[in-house]
Amino acid sequence: MNKKNYTKIVFSLLFTVVLASCGTKATEKKENSVRPNIIYIMADDHAAQAITAYGGIYDEYAQTPNIDRLANEGMLMNNVFCTNAICGPSRAAILTGKYSHKNGYYKNESGGQFNPNQWTFPEELQKNGYQTALFGKWHLGSEPRGFDYFKFHEGGGQQGFYWNPVYNENGKTVTEKGYATNLTANFALEWLESAKDKNKPFCLLLQFKAPHRNWEPDTKYVDLWEDIEMPYPETFNDDYKTREKTAGDTDMTMDDFNRKDMKLTPPKGLTPKELGEWNRYGNKRGEVVYPDKNLTPEENRRWKYQTYIKDYLACIKSVDDNVGRVLDFLDKNGLTENTLVIYTADQGFYLGEHGWFDKRFMYEESLRMPFLVRYPAKIKAGSKNSDIVTNIDFAPTILEAAGIAKPDEVQGDSFLKNLEGETSGEWQKSMYYHYYEFPFWHHVQPHFGIRNSRYKLIHYYYNVDVWEFFDLEKDPNELNNAIRNPEYAETIASMKKELKELQGKYNDDKSLDEMRAITDTDFGKVSNYKGGEH
Ligand code: CA
């Protein structure tokens, strides 16, 4: 073959290859444009009151500009609620689209391992051609399924560590140097970099450990608000009148912080066992930590609140920074338009409201999950929504966005249409809640209840028999249990009826004794899972 002919053949071959690849690219591009990428970002215990887009008493001091971007460029949802407001159970409900009594994951303490054989939305996406990955907090014991790649926190019962965290990376234990929030985002961004060019959409679960107890900020944010006194929530001095046996009988007040929470310096020369005990002092009733013996009890309460809230908000600074890095990545790679980005938390949290930290109660601060969502292809920028949505509705919504039907066993419903501004008249007007863990941690009585757009009815049934009823319009802080107020008798009767109907609808219509037995059952520990059968 002479040189001229050779060049001709090479050129025509090249031309064919280029044409063919153009053809493939065009088809794939079309396919991908109807199958969005999904980035599901979930922080741990991040209350809506600590996100500027929701407004609140910290707005002036602690802004969340990157998280807020999702509301400015997408939708802010005001009534997204958790069905069982603690870490593991909420995560299990989100993955399965089902209540705790259906997915079998009721409690953190003695809650066992999540049954990995059951249906989850990431595995469904993976089966349907999505690249899938999980980074950060998992906290469900058994090894994740349905992910091409995972790297989740081990150590401390899978709570993980803020500094030099230990991860389970695709089944291998690795220790990394640095601050958990930054590291988790680094790993997620590295994976996104590798996923973005493959001709398949991706689904990333980026689940920060922060701002979970014991609230250790990055070094650069430790002293951020040193000279400021943070404002106190209106209900900081709640006296628990009309709620004595429930809200008035917990271990989550300012008196229940331990020395480690308060970052007190231990004495020198303690053995590891002694150090552990020293740090945990404060956990038991009657143990009250005093940083300075000269403080009055009231001054001590305030000092603890200031220490707690500044550390909590400083942890969120790092979460917000890293959300910004993810959004920048999408912008730089032209992926913003076709990526559904969700920011939420596994439940809400008390930031001194009712004099508390922690969660669990069906009261507003822990029931409400922040939920900001951006998907420019479908969601109008700057929109707001107040439909009642719960965490079992997340999975069907993500699936519908990906064009996948939910299986019948999923109890939640897709709110994709609601995001597009077209809420159906049939959409749920109330939600059902059920919490089980007792007495550890924090001594919150097991309860179930119903909330609609105005009222809330709760039944605490374990070793007390207390009903509470709140008119959220007249009493948004839930200070006045109006269960015996004759003005509400009719509303209460109809809500009791609806509560029964919801228990029937969701198959949670067991006897109270059967429910108590769940609280009493030790299902095992979430510990460092060492592999084994799926
Ligand atoms: Ca949590």
Q: Domains plus CATH for the chain? A: 35-221+309-433 (3.40.720.10)
> Quick one: average pLDDT of 395-418?
98
Give the SS3 label for residue 95. helix
C-beta separation of 137 from 208 below 8 A: yes
**Separation of 89 CA from ligand 1 center, angstroms?**
9
Compute the distance from residue 271 Cα to the ligand 1 centre, in Å. Answer: 31
Q: What is the per-residue pLDDT for 136?
A: 98
What average pLDDT does the segment 432-449 reach? 97
Interatomic CA distance for residues 419 and 279, integer angstroms: 46
Could you tell me how many helices (H) and strands (E) the chain has, helices first? Answer: 13, 16
Q: How far is the CA of 461 from the centre of ligand 1 (A)?
A: 24
Output the six-digit token pair for 404. 């996948």
**Which residues, in sequence order, are CB contacts of 481 under 8 Å at separation 6+?**
242, 243, 468, 469, 470
- The torsion angles phi and psi of 442, rounded to 5 degrees, stand at 80, 0
Find the helix or strand (DSSP H, E) in which 149 lies: strand 149-154
Give the β-pairing of 371-374 and 75-77: antiparallel
Please tell me the distance between residue 349's alpha carbon and the centre of ligand 1 in angstroms: 8
Q: Per-residue b/e over 151-185, b at no fewer than 16 CB within 10 Å? A: bbbbbbebbbbbeebbbbeeeeeeebeebbbebbb
**pTM more than 0.95:** no
| Alpha carbon of 312 to ligand 1 centroid (Å) | 13
Å from CA of 45 to ligand 1 middle:
4
pLDDT average, residue stretch 99-103: 98
Tokens 């809650």 correspond to what residue? Answer: 111
The pLDDT score that the predictor gives to residue 528 is 59
Ion ligand 1: residue ranges with CB closer than 5 A:
44-45, 87, 346
Measured in Å, residue 352 CA sits from the centre of ligand 1 at 16
* Cα–ligand 1 centroid distance for 32 (angstroms): 34
Residue 328, Ramachandran bin (φ over 0: left; ψ between -120 and 50: alpha; else beta): alpha
Q: Is the peptide bond before 201 cis (omega within 30 degrees of 0)?
A: no
The pLDDT assigned to 451 comes to 98
**From the CA of 248, how far away is ligand 1's center (Å)?**
22
Closest CA to 258 of 237, 236, 287: 287
Q: How many CB atoms lie within 10 A of CB 327?
A: 22
> Mean pLDDT in the chain?
93
Separation of CA 81 and ligand 1 centre (Å):
13
**CA of 166 relative to ligand 1 center, distance in Å:** 19
* Cβ–Cβ under 8 Å, residues 502 and 115: no
pLDDT at 372 over 60: yes
Task: Give residue-wise pLDDT tens across range 28-57.
Answer: 444 445 799 999 999 999 999 999 999 999
Q: What are phi and psi of 148, to 5 degrees?
A: -70, -30
**Minimal CA–CA distance to 263: which of 317, 209, 227, 311?**
311
Q: What average pLDDT does this structure show over 185-196?
A: 97
Decide if pLDDT at 14 tops 90. no
pLDDT at 503: 98
What is the model's pLDDT at position 252?
97
Mean pLDDT of 480-501: 98
pLDDT digits (tens, 9 = 90+) for 153-188: 999 999 999 999 999 999 999 999 999 999 999 999
Q: Provide the 3-class DSSP secondary structure of residue 350.
A: coil
373 pLDDT band, cuts 50/70/90, is very high
Residue 23 CA to ligand 1 centre (angstroms): 47
Q: How far is the CA of 294 from the centre of ligand 1 (A)?
A: 35
- Which residue type does 102 have? K
pLDDT at 527: 72
Contact criterion met (CB below 8 Å) for 63 and 228: no
Binned at pLDDT 50, 70 and 90, residue 529 comes out as: very low
CA of 334 to the centre of ligand 1 (A): 33
Write out pLDDT tens, residues 251-271: 999 999 999 999 999 999 999
Q: Is 100 helix (H, G, I), strand (E, B) or coil?
A: helix
- Contact between residue 148 and residue 201 where contact means Cβ atoms under 8 Å apart: no
Tell whether the model's pLDDT for residue 336 goes beyond 90.
yes
Distance CA 90, CA 47 (A): 14
CA of 1 to the centre of ligand 1 (A): 71
Per the model's pLDDT, the better-predicted residue between 351 and 27 turns out to be: 351
Q: What is the pLDDT of residue 197?
A: 87
**What are the helix (H) ranges across 249-296?**
272-280
